[in-house]
Amino acid sequence: MTENSGNEKATHPESTPTPVPGAAARPSPAAAAGPRPGATGRKPESPKPHAHKPAPGPAAQQHPHPVVVPTVSDPSQWGRVDEDGTAWVKTAEGERVIGSWQAGDAAEGLAHFGRRFDDLATEVALLEARLAAGTDARKTKAAATALAETLPEAAVIGDIDGLKTRLQAIIEHSDEAAAHAKEEKERTRHEQTERKEALAAEAEQIAAESTQWKAAGDRLREILDEWKTIRGVDRKVDDALWRRFSKAREAFNRRRGAHFAELDRERASAKTRKEELCVRAEELSGSTDWSGTAAIFRDLLTEWKAAGRAPREADEQLWRRFKAAQDIFFAARNSAASERDAEFEHNATAKEELLRAYENLDPEAGLDAARAGLRELQEKWDAIGKVPRERIHDLEARLRSIEKRVRDAVDAQWRRSDPEAMARAAQFRERVAQFEEQAAKAQAAGKTRDAEKALEQAKQWREWAEAAEGAVSQR
């Protein structure tokens, strides 16, 4: 294969250069890239320049790493290879010879120069992708400029004017992209500085206020780890912020050291106090004043908790000593309580027998006998004594039932003979008559509303009278 970059004079039958199709219009990206593979059944649309103008800014943020698809174009739209092997390309300035093809037929030559154009278009697409992704705009601009300078003599067949327009767009937008990259760098530096300032301020707050020593120490270590990951801060500013952070860490460590020194002193004092409490507990362990001594042990336990923690090993040893004294006393109290529980259970059995003996007291058969029987029951009940706590409610309820039956009978007898209750019933009837008389007078005077009101009051007093009479007559 022999290529000629234009040294040979063009000898095409047509003397007038072929115009570039669509040179005055702006193409779509699909037209500039050529027809889709296999789309050979219809005439492709005329290509238009400026097909791949880069779009920096938001597009670069949405697609930080654009995928570049290799260009596949139809070289027959942009040039030809004559039967003698001369290769031509169409541009806005007319046709020009780009070389000579001798390695095959004209179709193979056309495809060859078309592939070379596709390689060139792919380079342009890569530059567009780099610019869109925000990669070093200065280098991108230089590469685009160098590539644009080769286009007038490029031995390719394709939309050279479109590539020229796209390269010019890259060159024009490179400065804008560089400015944007600078702004982005400044913004990132500002953000990273703010992050370190926030971390330094948090460390200072921890150093000044926190008493959660473990959590605060862990957080300071986390801040240090995060600090190491932050890059891009101005050196002087970074040094100043580091001094703030280091000073805060040192202040926290001093406060923590002072705290634990004081804690050691407090633990020594707690050890002395707990030794005294152990002695006191051992003195009380033999007491038989169950209630009083149990209360004292509760007070000693409260003092034990208030004394604070002694050194760990000593604290555990002193607690075992204190608890052993407690256990001796409470074991003895529990033994005594077991004996008492047995006595209480015996008392419960006796009270059950007593209830069965008196449950049949019948006031209807004789109120005086029933009252006498109830007094006997109550006296024997008190003489028996206490019962287990869980049995009290049931036994007392049964006793209350017998007492209520007798008491209700006594109350009923009293109500039947209560002169005051009978007098109240008569007074209620008198009030009924008064209101009925008022209603009659009001009705006669044409005062219907007053009559209705008086009748309503008469009705109320009549109900009260009937209730009072019923209480007196109730058996």
User: DSSP labels for 46-71?
Assistant: PP-S-TT----THHHHH-SSPPPPPP
| Four-point Cα dihedral 54, 60, 63, 67, nearest 10 | 40
Express each pLDDT in 452-473 by its tens digit: 888 888 888 888 877 776 766 6
Residue 225: what pLDDT? Answer: 94
Q: Cα–Cα distance between 287 and 331 in angstroms, integer?
A: 11
Give the distance from CA 257 to its chain's centroid: 35
Confidence of residue 416 (pLDDT cuts 50, 70, 90): low
CA distance 354 to 384: 10
Number of other CB atoms surrounding residue 461 within 10 Å: 19
- Which of these ranges, 14-18, 90-94, 287-291, 302-306, has the smallest mean pLDDT? 14-18
435: closest CA among 464, 413, 415, 400? 464
The runs of H, that is alpha helices, within 4-43 are 29-32
Write down the pTM of the prediction.
0.36
Q: Which two tokens stand for residue 42?
A: 């219809």
Rounded distance between C-alpha atoms, residue 454 and residue 441, angstroms: 10
Report the pLDDT value the prediction gives residue 417, as an integer from 0 to 100. 61
Q: Nearest-CA neighbor of 56 among 143, 187, 178?
A: 178
- Rank 196-200, 369-373, 404-408, 463-467 by mean pLDDT and report only the highest: 196-200
Please state the length of the chain.
475
Query: For position 372, what pLDDT does the model report?
Result: 87
Tokens standing for residue 451: 């009559």
pLDDT at position 243 over 90:
yes
Q: Using one digit for the tens of pLDDT, what is the confidence trace for 428-452?
A: 778 888 878 888 888 888 888 888 8
